[in-house]
């Protein structure tokens, strides 16, 4: 059904969002001191969790559109047909540049989740890139690629928040080459309010928790990946979020994600 839907039909499904609109997006402001705090934690622990920096007014239309997709039985990743999910990440360009430099691009790797039933869960333990993505150490360390994860609803251990194996646990460095021996007991849960921003280097092990009977609300979230353009592309085509692909290209990009991520979640099947 959705393969036969044209742009106008998709637009009617989420009338508060746009497809192919032109808009000047204002980046969120972060002081040098705040960026230094975020960076220090990132390099020590291997991730950051920036509390609720995106306003409810800007995330609510995206969240509502994901509810609309769900009501039609459409997988949540199709939210990326619309402009606004991409623009949420554009708002974070100041942070992205801090880690990847002035010349960065969006990798053609994206996903969205809507957990709402007991037993549903995010993806199992994995890394977004199996190669090393951090080169050097200390103040001279260079980051090749970065993953960002945005919760559109409050997330906690009851509804499937993100878990990571922090860098500060030296055992996790040793396990990087033996994922079957990961010490999951050393994992750290990362509860986050709606509008927060989670980020990690792409060689960090992480996963999504399970949605339990005690959950107070669904877990809706978005993920995009970014790379420093000083390195050869990790995947192609690289995307400039300031000039988003046209509708048909977005549709093809989303369709390719089901094949790409089936190795992480064998249950993924386009059309279901």
Average pLDDT over residues 16-33: 96
The pLDDT tens digits for 175-219 are 555 567 788 888 999 999 999 999 999 999 999 999 999 999 999
* CA–CA distance, 44 with 36 (Å, rounded to integer): 12
Average pLDDT over residues 50-64: 98
Q: Taking a C-beta distance cutoff of 8 angstroms, is the pair 128, 202 a contact?
A: yes
pLDDT at residue 270, as a whole number? 46
> Residue 82 — φ and ψ, nearest 5°?
-95, 160
The pLDDT tens digits for 142-188 are 999 999 999 999 999 999 999 999 987 654 455 555 567 788 888 99
Q: Between vectors from CA 209 to CA 107 and to CA 213, what angle results, nearest 5°?
A: 140
CATH 2.60.120.620 fits 2-260, yes or no: yes
Q: Between vectors from CA 257 to CA 201 and to CA 144, what angle results, nearest 5°?
A: 20
Q: Taking a C-beta distance cutoff of 8 angstroms, is the pair 176, 133 a contact?
A: no
> What are the C-alpha distances in Å from 136 to residues 35, 132, 139, 142, 180?
20, 11, 9, 6, 26
């Amino acid at each position: 059904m959705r393969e036969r839907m044209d742009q106008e039909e998709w637009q009617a499904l989420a009338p508060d969002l746009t497809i192919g609109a032109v808009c000047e997006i204002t980046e969120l402001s972060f002081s040098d001191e705040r960026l230094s705090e975020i960076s220090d934690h990132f390099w020590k622990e291997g991730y950051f969790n920036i509390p609720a920096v995106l306003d409810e007014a800007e995330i609510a239309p995206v969240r509502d559109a994901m509810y609309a997709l769900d009501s039609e039985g459409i997988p949540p990743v199709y939210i990326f047909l619309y402009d606004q999910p991409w623009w949420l990440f554009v708002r974070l360009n100041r942070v992205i540049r801090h880690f990847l430099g002035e010349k960065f691009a969006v990798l053609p790797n994206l996903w969205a989740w809507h957990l709402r039933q007991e037993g549903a869960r995010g993806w199992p333990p994995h890394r977004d890139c199996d190669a090393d993505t951090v080169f050097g150490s200390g103040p001279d360390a260079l980051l090749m690629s970065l993953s960002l994860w945005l919760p559109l609803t409050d997330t906690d251990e009851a509804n499937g928040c993100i878990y990571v194996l922090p860098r500060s646990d030296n055992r996790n460095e040793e396990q990087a080459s033996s994922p079957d021996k990961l010490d999951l007991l050393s994992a750290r849960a990362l509860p986050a309010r709606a509008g927060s921003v989670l980020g990690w280097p792409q060689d960090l092990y992480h996963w999504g928790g399970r949605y339990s009977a005690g959950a107070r609300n669904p877990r809706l979230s978005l993920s995009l990946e970014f790379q420093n353009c000083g390195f050869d592309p990790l995947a192609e085509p690289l995307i400039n979020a300031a000039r988003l692909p046209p509708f048909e290209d977005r549709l093809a990009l989303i369709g390719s994600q089901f094949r790409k991520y089936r190795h992480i979640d064998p249950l993924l099947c386009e059309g279901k």
